[in-house]
């Protein structure tokens, strides 16, 4: 994954975590007025380091094929073979972070801001490389996007900071040994960092929870709905015998439903959203089935007026329930 120019992988305080290393080989201070150019050299180094590792990862993943086992093998390769390189990228980022105050005193705000943005983008690149997640094509697309963003920001930096490749190499040279040594020493700390950026398993969304609830609800209420259909057909045909049979059928089916109150509990989003979801009674839906029960009881007793009252209320409650369920493209 190679593109020309461009810079960084801003990060966390790794050099401070390896104080013994820093003591053994102090990180040099840039010459007066040279901190912006020094940061640019470190950015270029970090970007190229992570880009180089990315190329190795992609090549290995392509050879292994597309499978969960291949993705895991690639991650193990990173841990076993490239860990010190990735840890060095974070050590370089820490050096950059320590120099940014001096950079802001020696250059314009626009230049300093541009260097900061490049740093953030390169951290994104390095983090993407550090924990490759399938599918491979999406992983490669994320890498390309990061590289394009970095390149664009590097172009935006434009003529504000002109440094030759030779000057960049000279400015970087005093920092290579401390950074690489810190990377080796920070192996364990970097493993902890990898764990922290590991994608967390995504829980089900509210829509998925609603769909799962609706599948159970639809299965549980199918027989009752069929019985209500028989009732409506018998009433339309003015068939007294069929009407009585339908009402008995409704009673037999709906009573067990009303005993299962969890059937009418739908998942709802708590506030704030970080609290997740909690079950909440969909009262209109529960009331609709109570009206179905009362409709059947009155129908069986021959109380036609009361039967019609409950039929009308059933329809009204179902309409109210439909307003809630319609938000998820579901029906009562």
Q: Which tens digits make up the pLDDT trace of 13-36? A: 333 333 333 333 477 889 899 999
Q: 303-320 pLDDT, tens per residue?
A: 999 999 999 999 999 999
Q: 241-292 pLDDT, tens per residue?
A: 999 999 999 999 999 999 998 999 999 988 777 678 889 999 999 999 999 9
Look at the chain and count its residues: 332
Contacts of 284 (CB under 8 A, 6+ apart): 317, 318, 320, 321, 324
156 vs 216, more confident: 216
Query: How many Å apart are CA 289 and CA 256, to the nearest integer?
Result: 11
Q: 192-246 pLDDT, tens per residue?
A: 766 776 666 777 889 999 999 999 999 999 999 999 999 999 999 999 899 999 9
pLDDT computed for residue 22 by the predictor: 35
Query: How many Å apart are CA 295 and CA 314, to the nearest integer?
Result: 9
- Say yes or no to pLDDT of 95 above 60: yes
Domains, the chain, in order of start with CATH, read 14-197 (no CATH), 206-328 (1.20.120)
pLDDT computed for residue 277 by the predictor: 87
Mean pLDDT of 153-177: 88
β strands within 122-202, DSSP E: none
Query: How many Å apart are CA 87 and CA 193, to the nearest integer?
Result: 9
Q: 36-90 pLDDT, tens per residue?
A: 999 999 999 999 999 999 999 999 999 998 888 888 899 889 888 888 888 888 8
- Say yes or no to pLDDT of 168 above 60: yes
Which bin fits 158, alpha (ψ -120 to 50), beta or left (φ > 0)? left
Band of pLDDT at residue 9, cut at 50, 70 and 90? very low
Band of pLDDT at residue 120, cut at 50, 70 and 90? very high
Average pLDDT value over all residues in the chain: 86
pTM: 0.55
Mean pLDDT of 2-10: 33
pLDDT computed for residue 270 by the predictor: 82
Mean pLDDT of 94-111: 93
Provide, rounded to the nearest whole percent, the portion of the chain with pLDDT above 90. 62
Query: How many Å apart are CA 206 and CA 269, to the nearest integer?
Result: 7
Band of pLDDT at residue 187, cut at 50, 70 and 90? low
Containing 265, the helix (H) or strand (E) segment is: strand 265-269
pLDDT computed for residue 21 by the predictor: 39
Q: Do 264 and 282 meet the contact criterion of CB atoms below 8 Å apart?
A: yes
């Amino acid at each position: 994954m190679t593109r020309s120019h461009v810079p960084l992988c801003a990060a966390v305080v790794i050099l401070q975590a390896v104080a013994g290393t820093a003591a053994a080989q102090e990180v040099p201070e840039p010459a007066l007025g040279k901190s912006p150019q020094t940061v640019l050299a470190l950015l270029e180094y970090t970007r190229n380091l992570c880009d180089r590792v990315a190329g190795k990862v992609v090549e290995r993943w392509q050879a292994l094929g597309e499978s969960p086992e291949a993705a895991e093998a690639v991650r193990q390769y990173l841990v076993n073979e490239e860990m010190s390189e990735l840890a060095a990228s974070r050590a370089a980022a820490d050096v950059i972070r320590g120099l940014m105050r001096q950079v802001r005193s020696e250059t314009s705000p626009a230049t300093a801001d541009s260097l900061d943005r490049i740093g953030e983008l390169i951290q994104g690149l390095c983090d993407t490389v550090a924990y490759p997640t399938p599918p491979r094509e999406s992983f490669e697309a994320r890498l390309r996007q990061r590289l394009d963003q970095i390149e664009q920001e590097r172009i935006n930096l434009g003529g504000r900071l002109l440094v030759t490749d030779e000057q960049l190499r000279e400015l970087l040279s005093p920092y290579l040994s401390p950074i690489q040594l810190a990377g080796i020493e920070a192996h364990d700390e970097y493993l902890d960092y990898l764990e922290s950026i590991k994608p967390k398993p995504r829980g089900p969304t509210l829509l998925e929870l609603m769909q799962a609830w609706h599948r159970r609800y639809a299965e549980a209420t199918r027989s009752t709905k069929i019985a209500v259909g028989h009732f409506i057909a018998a009433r339309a045909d003015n068939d007294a015998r069929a009407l009585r049979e339908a009402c008995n059928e409704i009673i037999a089916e709906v009573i067990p439903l009303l005993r299962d109150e969890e059937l009418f509990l739908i998942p709802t989003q708590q506030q704030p959203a970080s609290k997740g979801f909690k079950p909440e009674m969909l009262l209109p839906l529960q009331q609709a089935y109570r009206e179905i029960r009362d409709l059947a009881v009155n129908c069986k007793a021959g109380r036609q007026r009361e039967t019609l009252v409950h039929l009308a209320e059933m329809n009204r409650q179902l309409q109210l329930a439909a307003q809630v369920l319609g938000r998820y493209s579901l029906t009562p």
